[in-house]
């Protein structure tokens, strides 16, 4: 296995652009890449551009008629009428949509291949993590589900146990749906409760199809307003025990930055420092239980200057073995570029001032009146016994 991490990047991924009024502003990708470079992390990783996912790869997850519909909407955006989820407010059609969506998917598939074959210790595609796309429909700003495609490619290459951990504020519904009947894939999602946030799924009772796959989906539905200590407590109360039990051969993680208290589309109150702590925890879990094989993806995140570039630069640094100290001052040149592109003032440091973060260990006991603890208990009771674990 190569000792270096791989950063999957092609500048053309910034063409994933739903228009000037859409929250999914591709400037967040460009600014992340520039911040990675500003800290010299591009010299600590192998920067690789993979080819776009072809039709046979896309069909590992997506229906043939859906891929055809995306191609048609890509060629003639004005004809998209909302069928297949294309041409909607969330997923407006745009010229070249198929090509850039397939390119992003290709980066995640390439990341999975590199990690599985030992060409890279870890691989990051922060343009990916488009976890809402369904086998037959676009959804939630996502056209092709690169996370599910990466996992499907791992299975095709011979992986027998893949663990997927999704810490985006929204439920990882598309990935869960893709592997609902497949016990080889354990999907774990920590997200804001479906009562208060799209896609209104991710209830603890969603545990996988009856039979062999029962217990292969895990959902921790956190109350709106959950902050650092609660979010970290929930993660550590659920994810490590599942990793110990499942013994994944590869860990695939999705790091949507929209759990942040500055994010305009959701209601959790997590800091950049807690996001960094979970990224580091995923890195450790990969080494402890998955032979170091780690594929890390981006996801949501709509505070495109203040939050996203910092969060995913931390992710790249952790994967590269060169973590950025939270107190590090952000280079002035990057802040000037961010302002020139967005007319927003950029952050000064790589911290929200909450480092080091802390949380209460689950093993010390829980409070049945605490809403975060209630969410953890619900998830553990729904799934842990199915996996032979104590709830």
CA angle 295, 126, 246 (to 5 degrees): 25
Cβ neighbors of 194 (< 8 A, separation 6 or more) are 171, 200, 201, 202, 203, 221
φ, ψ for residue 226 (rounded to 5)? Answer: -60, 130
In eight-state DSSP terms, residue 22 is S
Peptide bond into 349 cis (omega under 30): no
List, in sequence order, every residue forming a beta bridge with 221; answer none if it has no partner: 191
Count CB atoms within 10 A of the CB of residue 82: 11
- Asked if 132 is an active-site residue, the reply is yes
DSSP string, 325-360: PTTPBPPHHHHHHHHHHHS-PPPSBS--S-PSP---
In eight-state DSSP terms, residue 217 is E
Please list the helix, strand and coil fractions of the chain in percent, rounded to the nearest 5, in that order. Answer: 40, 15, 45
Count CB atoms within 10 A of the CB of residue 83: 11
Catalytic residue among 62, 98, 131, 132: 132
Cβ–Cβ < 8 Å for 312, 272:
no
For 168, the token pair is 């985006």
φ, ψ for residue 355 (rounded to 5)? Answer: -85, 135
Hey, which bits of 193-324 come out as E strands?
217-222, 250-254, 294-297
Cβ–Cβ < 8 Å for 90, 139:
yes
Active site residues: 132
């Amino acid at each position: 296995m190569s000792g270096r991490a791989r950063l999957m990047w092609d500048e053309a991924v910034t063409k994933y652009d739903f228009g000037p009024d859409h929250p999914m502003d591709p400037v967040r990708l460009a600014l992340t890449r520039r911040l990675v470079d500003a800290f010299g992390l591009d010299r600590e990783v192998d920067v690789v551009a993979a080819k776009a996912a072809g039709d046979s790869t896309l069909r590992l997850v997506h229906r043939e008629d859906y891929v055809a519909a995306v191609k048609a909407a890509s060629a003639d955006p004005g004809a998209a009428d909302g069928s297949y989820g294309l041409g909607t407010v969330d997923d407006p059609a745009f010229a070249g949509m198929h090509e850039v969506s397939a390119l992003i998917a290709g980066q995640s598939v390439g990341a999975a291949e590199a990690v599985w074959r030992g060409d890279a210790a870890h691989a990051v595609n922060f343009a990916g993590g488009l976890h809402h796309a369904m086998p037959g429909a676009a959804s939630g700003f996502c056209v092709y589900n690169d996370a599910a495609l990466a996992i499907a490619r791992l299975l095709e290459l011979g992986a027998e146990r893949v663990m997927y951990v999704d810490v985006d504020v929204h439920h990882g519904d598309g990935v869960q749906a893709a592997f609902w009947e497949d016990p080889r894939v354990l999907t774990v999602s920590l997200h804001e409760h479906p009562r208060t946030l799209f896609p209104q799924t991710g209830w603890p009772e969603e545990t996988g199809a009856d039979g062999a796959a029962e217990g292969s989906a895990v959902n921790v539905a956190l109350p709106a307003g959950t902050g650092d200590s609660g979010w970290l407590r929930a993660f550590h109360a659920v994810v490590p025990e599942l990793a110990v039990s499942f013994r994944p051969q590869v860990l695939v993680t999705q790091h949507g930055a929209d759990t942040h208290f500055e994010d305009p589309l959701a209601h959790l109150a997590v800091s950049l420092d807690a996001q960094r702590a979970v990224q580091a925890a995923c890195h450790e879990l990969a080494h402890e239980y998955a032979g170091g094989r780690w594929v890390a993806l981006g996801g949501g995140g709509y505070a495109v200057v203040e939050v996203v570039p910092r969060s995913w630069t931390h992710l790249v640094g952790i994967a590269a073995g060169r973590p950025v100290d939270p107190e590090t001052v952000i280079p002035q040149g990057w802040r000037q570029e961010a302002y020139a592109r967005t007319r927003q003032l950029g952050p000064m440091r790589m911290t929200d001032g909450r480092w080091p973060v802390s949380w209460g260990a689950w093993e010390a006991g829980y409070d049945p009146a605490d809403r975060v603890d209630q969410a953890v208990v619900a998830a553990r009771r729904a799934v842990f016994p199915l996996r032979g674990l104590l709830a």
